[in-house]
């Protein structure tokens, strides 16, 4: 089918309502992308202050785009109008076409969120922004495996072109078609991946980051030189340590712990990563990781 996002909407109507659960770095970015592309977006986080902060950040990002001439003032107004803060999860999800969770990398938490959504949004696609967890397991535990699918965005979501769509064993063809249609509406290029630990992206990405941390630990080179090596020698836009700072050391640690369990020794988290997370040095979001961020 051509469009499954909102098959009953009249021509010219908004493409649908998206609830974003979790207002951290990824939730904010996903909400921005959806609002810029004509969706009504409701953003919810268990910590209410985070949703307000998220809205402020999104409005500031949109303003930057206007200043750069990449967005018209009226498009910014429309996007801002599309963005609502929800004070509870049921309010966020009622009547939604799409629910995207961008909560921390914790299976039990994601299961609890989607279970609560089931009856308030009985027809919604349940998309998870997980970087590594099993969509098959999530779908089974939620009790609606046909509606659950991985919608893996990349940081920063407004800039990165890829949407990694991960199909669980029982994800329906309709849900996959809906996800592909969503990617198109959001201006993202999709890849479709079979559910497996770390999918097609995190599995490679975290390995590079972990090896760079082990190289730093053993004094192979400075953080800046390890990064420069990959930036200038391999044309990566950003070296693996700077990228770990951007993504969040806690996020990377959670992914590595999961992949270590699932795929073995090569994913063992480096001791330095664990120590830095314990010290609260989580990267850009806390102002310090392998680099100091202003």
Residue 66: count other Cβ atoms within 10 Å of its Cβ: 15
Among 51, 61, 84, 171, binds ligand CAA (CB under 6 A): 61
The torsion of the CA quartet 117, 122, 125, 127, rounded to 10 degrees, works out to 10
Minimum CB–partner distance for residue 63 and ligand CAA (Å): 12
Instruction: Find the part of the chain contacting ligand CAA (CB under 6 A) among 142-150, 157-165, 223-231, 267-275.
Output: 157-165
Minimum CB–partner distance for residue 174 and ligand CAA (Å): 26
Q: Judged by CB, which is closer to ligand CAA: 155, or 172?
A: 155
Ranked by CB distance to ligand CAA, the top (closest) residue is: 131
Residue 39 contacts ligand CAA per CB under 6 A: no
Instruction: Find the part of the chain contacting ligand CAA (CB under 6 A) among 13-21, 75-83, 149-157, 221-229.
Output: 149-157
Minimum CB–partner distance for residue 278 and ligand CAA (Å): 20
Q: Judged by CB, which is closer to ligand CAA: 163, or 243?
A: 243
Q: Judged by CB, which is closer to ligand CAA: 180, or 200?
A: 200
Full DSSP string of the chain? ----SSTTSPTTS---EEEEE--SHHHHHHHHHHHHTT-EEEEE-SSHHHHHHHHHHHHHHHHHHHHTTSS-HHHHHHHHHTEEE-SSHHHHHTT-SEEEE---S-HHHHHHHHHHHTTTSTT-EEEE--SSS-HHHHHHHHT-TTTEEEEE--SSTTT--EEEEEE-TT--HHHHHHHHHHHHHHTPEEEEEES-TTTTTHHHHHHHHHHHHHHHHTTSS-HHHHHHHHHHHS--SS-HHHHHHHH-HHHHHHHHHHHHHHH-GGGPPPHHHHHHHHTT--BGGGTBSSSB--
Interface characters, 202-241, with ligand CAA (x: CB under 6 A): x--x-------------------------------xx---
Q: Judged by CB, which is closer to ligand CAA: 16, or 22?
A: 22
Residue 156 contacts ligand CAA per CB under 6 A: yes
Among 11, 60, 108, 159, binds ligand CAA (CB under 6 A): 159
Among 131, 136, 171, 175, binds ligand CAA (CB under 6 A): 131
Among 41, 126, 243, 277, binds ligand CAA (CB under 6 A): 243
Minimum CB–partner distance for residue 73 and ligand CAA (Å): 17
Q: Judged by CB, which is closer to ligand CAA: 31, or 247?
A: 247
> How far is 15 from 9, CA to CA, in rounded Å?
7
Listed residue (197, 187, 185) closest to 2, CA to CA: 185
Residue 160 contacts ligand CAA per CB under 6 A: yes
Q: Residue count at the site for ligand CAA (CB under 6 A)? A: 17
Residue 16 contacts ligand CAA per CB under 6 A: no
Would you put residue 85 in left (φ > 0), alpha (ψ -120 to 50) or beta? beta
Contact 85, 51 (CB under 8 A): yes
Residue numbers at the binding site for ligand CAA (CB under 6 A): 61, 68, 70, 131, 154-156, 158-160, 202, 205, 237-238, 243, 247, 251
């Amino acid at each position: 089918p051509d469009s499954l996002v909102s098959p009953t909407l009249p021509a010219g109507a908004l493409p649908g309502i998206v609830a974003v659960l979790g207002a951290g770095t990824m939730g904010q970015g996903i909400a921005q992308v959806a609002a810029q592309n004509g969706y009504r977006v409701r953003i919810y986080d268990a910590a209410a202050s985070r949703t307000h902060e998220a809205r402020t950040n999104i409005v500031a990002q949109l303003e930057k785009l206007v200043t750069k001439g990449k967005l018209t003032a009226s498009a910014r107004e429309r996007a801002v109008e599309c963005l609502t803060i929800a004070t509870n999860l049921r309010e966020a999800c009622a009547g939604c076409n799409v629910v995207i969770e961008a909560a921390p990398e914790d299976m039990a938490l994601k299961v609890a969120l989607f279970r609560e959504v089931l009856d308030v949004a009985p027809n919604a696609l349940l998309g998870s922004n997980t970087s590594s967890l099993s969509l098959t397991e999530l779908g089974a535990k939620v009790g609606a495996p046909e509606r659950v699918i991985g919608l893996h965005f990349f940081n920063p979501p407004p800039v990165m072109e890829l949407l990694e769509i991960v199909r669980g064993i029982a994800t329906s063809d309709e849900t996959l078609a809906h996800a592909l249609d969503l990617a198109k509406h959001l201006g993202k290029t999709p890849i479709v991946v079979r559910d497996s630990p770390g999918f097609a992206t995190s599995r490679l990405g975290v390995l590079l980051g972990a090896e760079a941390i082990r190289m730093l630990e053993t004094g192979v080179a400075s953080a800046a030189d390890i990064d420069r090596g990959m930036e200038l020698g391999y044309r990566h836009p950003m070296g693996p340590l700077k990228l770990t700072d951007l993504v969040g050391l806690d996020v990377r640690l959670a992914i590595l712990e999961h992949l270590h369990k699932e795929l073995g020794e090569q994913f063992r988290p480096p001791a330095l990563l664990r120590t830095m997370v314990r010290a609260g040095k989580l990267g850009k979001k806390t102002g310090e990781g392998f680099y100091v961020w202003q």
